[in-house]
Each structure stands twice: as structure tokens, then as C-alpha cells.
Amino acid sequence: MPIIVNLDVMMAKRKMSLNELSMKVDLTLSNLSILKTGKAKAIRFTTLEAICNALDCQPGDILEYVADLPGTTTR
């Protein structure tokens, strides 16, 4: 998948647990977990804004684009 979610990296840098982030951004643990594991198909800008606010970071700190290698397939 060309979009990599680095939410776990930013949470570790800020020493913030999933429970704490969940309370700060008002999202369920399961929805944050889906995002953190890279299984999410989309994210609302308001959710991204809340996460960036809670973690004091930029969207590019959380989302990263990595081009597919030739010969690999995407979902």
C-alpha cells in the first residue's frame, strides 16, 4: 500500500498511549486501532486535525507516501 500510517511512531515520540489519544480526539479505541495498523480506507480531515492537535505534529508526520515497487500489486 503506497500510504503508510506512522501514527504509532508519533505516539511513541510523544509518549502517548492509544487510550490517552482516544480520549483527547474523542474516537473509539477500535477506530484509532484501525487507523494505527494501516487498515483504514479513509480518514476525515477533522479527525486528522484532532490527531495532529493532540500529538502536536503535522499531517505529514502521520501519513507517508511510498511508491509501489515495480512488479508488486496493490489491493
Looking at residue 2, what is its pLDDT?
Answer: 87
Domain locations in the chain as residue ranges: 3-65
Q: What is the pTM of this model?
A: 0.85
pLDDT in tens, 18-61: 999 999 999 999 999 999 999 999 999 999 999 999 999 999 99
Q: What is the DSSP letter of 39?
A: -
Q: 42-59 burial, b if ≥16 CB within 10 A, otherwise e?
A: ebeeebeebbbebbebee
pLDDT of 65 strictly over 80:
yes
Cα–Cα distance between 65 and 53 in angstroms, integer?
21
From residue 52, alpha-carbon distances to 4, 12, 14, 21, 60 in Å are 16, 14, 12, 10, 10
* Topology adopted by domain 3-65: 434 Repressor (Amino-terminal Domain) (1.10.260)
